[in-house]
Amino acid sequence: MSNLQPLVTAMDDEVHVLYIGRHKRTYRAHLELARYAKRADSTIRGFCDLIRRLPRGARKLLNAAKVRDFNIGVQAAMQPYWYEIALAPETVKAAAEVNARIVLTVYAPEGRRKGNPKKLTSSTRVG
């Protein structure tokens, strides 16, 4: 349970910080890549490349984290009837090599949900 700011600082301007701080008894960082990628594959592999280039101290913080998630967010709608997200085997392997999970979050259609959670297209969570 360590402050993750040094990890985020090591990632420099390659990420956008959605949230960093303490949540109950743990520290969390929710990040997006600064460069836009159209596909989840590209985003996840971009994060994996960034993780492999981290300096030793930052990588040690990441390795000590209890959770390392690559989260693919989908905003549901009435149309199209279905939407498919396929990840290449190389992407799944790259995520496994940095000991990360791949998570899919589906948000309710705009008119159907209560509250107003932030829309995320693809991000990573460390904590």
Q: What is the pLDDT of residues 68-96, one digit of tens each?
A: 999 999 888 888 888 889 999 999 999 99
The pLDDT score that the predictor gives to residue 112 is: 57
Tell me the percentage of the chain whose pLDDT exceeds 70: 86
The pLDDT score that the predictor gives to residue 118 is: 47
The pLDDT score that the predictor gives to residue 100 is: 96
Q: Report how many domains make up the chain.
A: 1
Closest CA to 5 of 18, 24, 16, 21: 21
Q: State mean pLDDT over 40-60.
A: 95
Which range of residues forms the domain containing residue 30? 5-126
Rounded distance, CA 100 to CA 94, Å? Answer: 9
pTM over 0.85? The answer is no
Cβ-Cβ contacts under 8 Å for 113 (sequence gap 6 or more) = 107
